[in-house]
Amino acid sequence: MNKPLTQHVRPDGRPLTLQEYEKAGGYAAVRKALKDMAPQAVTTLVKESNLRGRGGAGFLTGMKWSFVPMNAPKPKYLIANADEMEPGTFKDRILLENTPHQLIEGMILAAFAIQADNAYVFLRWAYKQAAKVITTAIEEAYAAGYLGKNILGTGFDLDMHLHTGVGRYMCGEETALLNSLEGKRATPRAKPPFPQISGLFGKPTIVNNVETLCCIPHIVNNGAEWFKDLSRGSDAGTKIYGVSGNVKRPGAWELPMNVTMRELVEEHAGGMRDGYRFRGALPGGASTDFLVEEHLDVKMDYTSVAAAGSRLGTGTMIVLDDQTSVVGFVKNLEHFFAQESCGFCTPCREGLPWVEKILHTIERGEGKPEDLKLLEFHTKYLGPGNTFCALAPGAMEPLQSALKYFRKDFEMLIHHKISA
């Protein structure tokens, strides 16, 4: 079982019903954990598995859970972040639409581990099909006794709800998500206190990514060492990697952690389309630094990608080809980030539209040499430590790396006064 997360994804896209999921071994982990394991034992097992969060930051999941005070009075909350607003990212959608009960089982196990009695699936508004599938699956789980009061006669209670957001990139930041869920404006909160102590409605809360939670049933069923052995390196498990752009077979594949960029692009994505040449890629969605041809043999894990100067992020690669304007590529990304800024802090609110305006000027062939210095200024002053959250620093990653690797493209538009 080297593809535990996607082994039951069907070519026609039909989601597994409860009966089909149970027949495939579904909810066995819930029975095992709730009847034979203490909550702390589930947390310890996940910690030993070395599962890192699949939403972008890569924080150790079991460690995150361990920060929740077990003696805190209820309610406690468990939230699945299914917002997936990162450009170029579509991995969670596959799991939501095809194996909804895998997510629900993972959420039950996570909630049991931290002794949460309320759970939410925070879903991106545009995922209409996923909303239908998740709604049906939650109803099935209630009817079968996997949700509600006294689950499987164990005394553990858990209610689960689907919440459809209005669609803001900011909700990928967990405290902004919490504000949105409370009916407030989706702006980030100051930390500390951290959500594990004071989260939704001021109560202990864990927010985990969909792919992260879907790993939990398999870890409970098969053990920490089994999960580690799925990988080719130190980062445990499998990962749903994606590739988009002018490749022959854009898509997503569940593969062992530590595959190389070259394997993803050339083998799984089929290489570049005829007439196009690979120039670079954002390895983990729009808010990561470019990697270029010299990095094709870099392993796609958290440590290796960071050592190469970028981040694994969501593991969903956006490929840049030689027929696409680098300036236009980056300008489109900065336009998105400028739109999605919550406006809470000045550098992000004012700086991102300024960056977009400069790039638009350069793209039209009206740029000046000093524009490059202005862009470099922004990459520093919108960088880490200068804004309230990570949105603006993330927006600067494709820009700063484009200036590093593709500076001649910018200079050509400026000095030759031509448009992209």
**pLDDT tens readout for residues 366-402:** 999 999 999 999 999 999 999 999 999 999 999 999 9
Write the DSSP assignment of 111-179 as a string of letters: HHHHT-SEEEEEE-TT-HHHHHHHHHHHHHHHHTTSSBSSGGGSS--BEEEEEE----GGGGSHHHHHH
* Cα–Cα distance for residue pair 18/101, rounded to 1 Å: 7
Taking a C-beta distance cutoff of 8 angstroms, is the pair 67, 100 a contact?
A: no
Q: What is the pLDDT of residues 99-156, one digit of tens each?
A: 999 999 999 999 999 999 999 999 999 999 999 999 999 999 999 999 999 999 999 9
Q: Say what the pLDDT of residue 416 is.
A: 78
Q: What is the pLDDT of residues 66-110, one digit of tens each?
A: 999 999 999 999 999 999 999 999 999 999 999 999 999 999 999
By residue count, the chain amounts to: 420
Residue 42 banded pLDDT, cuts 50, 70, 90: very high
Q: Is 186 left (phi over 0), alpha (psi -120 to 50) or beta?
A: beta
Q: Answer whether residue 43 shows pLDDT above 90.
A: yes
Q: Say what the pLDDT of residue 2 is.
A: 86
* Cα–Cα distance for residue pair 416/19, rounded to 1 Å: 65
Q: Say what the pLDDT of residue 172 is.
A: 87
Tokens of 180: 């949105």
Taking a C-beta distance cutoff of 8 angstroms, is the pair 295, 261 a contact?
A: yes
> Is the alpha carbon torsion for 81, 82, 83, 85 positive or negative?
positive
Residue 234 banded pLDDT, cuts 50, 70, 90: confident
Q: Answer whether residue 357 shows pLDDT above 90.
A: yes
Q: Answer whether residue 29 shows pLDDT above 70.
A: yes
Mean pLDDT over the full length of the chain: 95
Q: How many CB atoms lie within 10 A of CB 13?
A: 11
Q: In what order do the strands lie in the sheet with 251-256?
A: 251-256, 238-244, 316-321, 278-282, 291-292
Taking a C-beta distance cutoff of 8 angstroms, is the pair 281, 293 a contact?
A: no
According to DSSP, residue 410 is labeled H
Domains and CATH numbers, the chain: 18-229 (3.40.50.11540), 238-321 (3.10.20.600), 326-415 (1.20.1440.230)
- Residue 77 sits at φ, ψ, to 5 deg, of -130, 145
Residue 57 banded pLDDT, cuts 50, 70, 90: confident
Q: Answer whether residue 417 shows pLDDT above 80.
A: no
* Cα–Cα distance for residue pair 54/91, rounded to 1 Å: 10
Share of the chain above pLDDT 70, in %: 99
* Cα–Cα distance for residue pair 120/138, rounded to 1 Å: 11
Lowest mean pLDDT among 34-38, 263-267, 365-369, 372-376: 365-369
Q: Answer whether residue 1 shows pLDDT above 80.
A: no
Q: What is the pLDDT of residues 298-338, one digit of tens each?
A: 999 999 999 999 999 999 999 999 999 999 999 999 999 99
Q: Answer whether residue 420 shows pLDDT above 80.
A: no
- Which of 203, 175, 196, 172 is closest to 187 using CA atoms? 175
Q: Say what the pLDDT of residue 56 is.
A: 81
Helix (H) or strand (E) holding 63: helix 61-66
The HSE-up count of residue 314 (CA atoms within 13 Å, CB side) is: 29
- pTM reported for the whole predicted model: 0.95
- Which of 209, 207, 168 is closest to 56 using CA atoms? 209
Q: Say what the pLDDT of residue 167 is.
A: 77
Q: Which residue has the tokens 């700086």?
A: 351
* Cα–Cα distance for residue pair 156/409, rounded to 1 Å: 60
Output the CA–CA distances (angstroms, integers) from residue 315 to 79, 86, 97, 188, 255, in the order listed: 21, 11, 19, 24, 11
Average pLDDT of 173-191?
Answer: 94
Q: How many CB atoms lie within 10 A of CB 2?
A: 10
Spatial CB neighbours of 281, under 8 Å, sequence gap ≥ 6: 245, 261, 265, 290, 291, 317, 318, 319, 320
